[in-house]
Chains A and B, each alone.
Chain A
Amino acid sequence: MTRMKTIKPLVLLCCFLINSALADEAAMLLKSSMADKNFVTLERVERDALQSFCSKPRSEEGDIETANALRESARAAVPMPTEDDFLGDWQRGEAVANNGRGLQYSDNPEQPNGGNCYACHQLDPDEVAYGTLGPSLTGYGARGQSLSMLEYTWIKLWNTHAYNVCSHMPRFGAAGILSEQQLKDVMAYLLDPRSPVNSGLSP
């Protein structure tokens, strides 16, 4: 019994070492299998701690302490607007939500990046070309504009891992995909009662 207890952590440690060796090999192999293209360089193969942690095949489990530490450091690094400054212009936000371009080597780096929200979410109920990787956000504005709701949405968009480590949504703020202004415009697109996202809600 006591022997079993000591063996189990050893086996786990051993598996962990084998798997992380494989992961390192994967990174090296990927680097040697790719080439710089336009403004996209091999630097993008380098992973930060969060990306490495979230790269595990489904069969492997991450440890909870690391997950908690990553969640906390994600949360701590979110810059918070003042209470009256969360919401921009919903119409500009609509354009950001629709735009799927940005940061691919085939994109023009002079153009602003898009948020590509429609790739993964339903928003305006009249837009049929929406993806389903994320939940539907149609009628999101029904949740109101309390300070806690504004903060929740802002943090979610800035760095989704502050709530849900290994979420598959991009870190729009933390990774520099969208500017603060673009994020505020998208916030308005989600929360403004005049936005088509909320057209189904009774005023």
Chain B
Amino acid sequence: MISWCAGILSSLLLLLAPLWAWAQQDGIFDEYRAMFGDDNPAVFVIDEGEELWFSKAGPNSTSLEGCDLGLGAGVVEGAYAQLPRYFADTDRVQDVESRLEHCMIELQGKTREEIHAKPYSLRGDLGTEMEALVAWLAEQSRGLAIAPGQAHPSERSSYELGEQLFYFRAGPHDFSCATCHGQSGKRIRLQSLPDLTAHEGAAEAYSSWPAYRISQGIVRTMGWRMRDCFRQQRMPELIMGSEAAVALQTYLAVNAAGATMAAPGLKR
């Protein structure tokens, strides 16, 4: 039912395609976004995420209510904003996706294989469970300050590795994240590129993901954003919730710390 609504919405958005081409021009996107007003189509996905959290699933027929996202079992309000952080039970720094994966395995009895089969939608899909859960959880941190953990040594080394990865140049094009996101006021074609090494750029970016992508009609997560930028970087596919995915998000979250979460955002 919810996916069905989202389906209709994305078809409507397809009809807006000519408008879309026009909206690609810098600045005009803001007006285009304003047309949506407060109607971020992500609301449907958020509702779906909430439903998923409370429904019994997996071989254990258990809900995710017992999942500890860092603030105690079942506490969802403000949990997203303090990730990534160190978890003693897994002895790892985790982002929202790897933590959800942990709970799906431990509580619901799902397998790693099924969780990783398709964590992110392909173009034209109606959305995955992971995307819906992350959208809802992010919404539960809306208006709160970004405050990833940096007290534990593992959290600090995750940041340092994230920084190394940000500048890691490899692949046939020699790109690193810093190639495209290391200076302010730059753009690729018409897309403006935030300087993610500075607080301002990192804050604007980090606070607005997960986001509803108008051009794709899907909610995308920050984990997906990392994977897709690695694709543009001509690198292999980033594994959801992997150490590198977590380290990069730690780097971004710490650079953005103190800013206010405003996700799910709305992107082109």
Chain A positions within 8 Å of B, measured between CB atoms, are 22-23, 25-27, 29-30, 32-37, 40-42, 44-47, 50-51, 54-58, 100, 103-106, 118-120, 128-133, 168, 170-171, 175-177
Contact = CB atoms under 8 A, between A and B. Distances in A.
A105 B236 contact: yes
A130 B189 contact: yes
Given A35-B236, A40-B236, A41-B236, A54 B169 contact: yes
Contact of B190 (A41, A54, A58, A129): A129
Interface residues of B, number: 45
Contacts of A131: 186-189
A130 to B, nearest CB: 7
A87 to B, nearest CB: 25
Contacts of A175: 172-174
Interface stretch (B10-18, B77-85, B130-138, B160-168): B160-168
Interface of B: 24-25, 160-161, 163-176, 178-180, 182-183, 185-190, 193, 197, 230-232, 234-239, 242-245, 247
Given A22-B164, A44-B236, A129-B190, 12 more contacts: A29-B247, A33-B244, A50-B174, A51-B174, A55-B176, A58-B167, A103-B172, A103-B234, A104-B231, A105-B236, A133-B179, A175-B173
In the A-B complex, the 3 residue pairs with the closest CB atoms: A33-B244, A33-B242, A26-B164
Contacts of A176: 172
Contacts of A128: 25, 190
A117 B169 CA distance: 19
Contact of B189 (A25, A26, A118): A118
Contact of B235 (A45, A51, A177): A45
Contacts of B234: 40, 44, 103-104
6 contacts: A25-B161, A46-B170, A57-B163, A100-B189, A120-B188, A131-B186
A37 B193 CA distance: 26
A35 to B, nearest CB: 5
Contacts of B160: 22
Contacts of B238: 33-34
B239 A35 contact: yes
B160 to A, nearest CB: 6
A29 B186 contact: no
A13 to B, nearest CB: 19
A133 B180 contact: yes
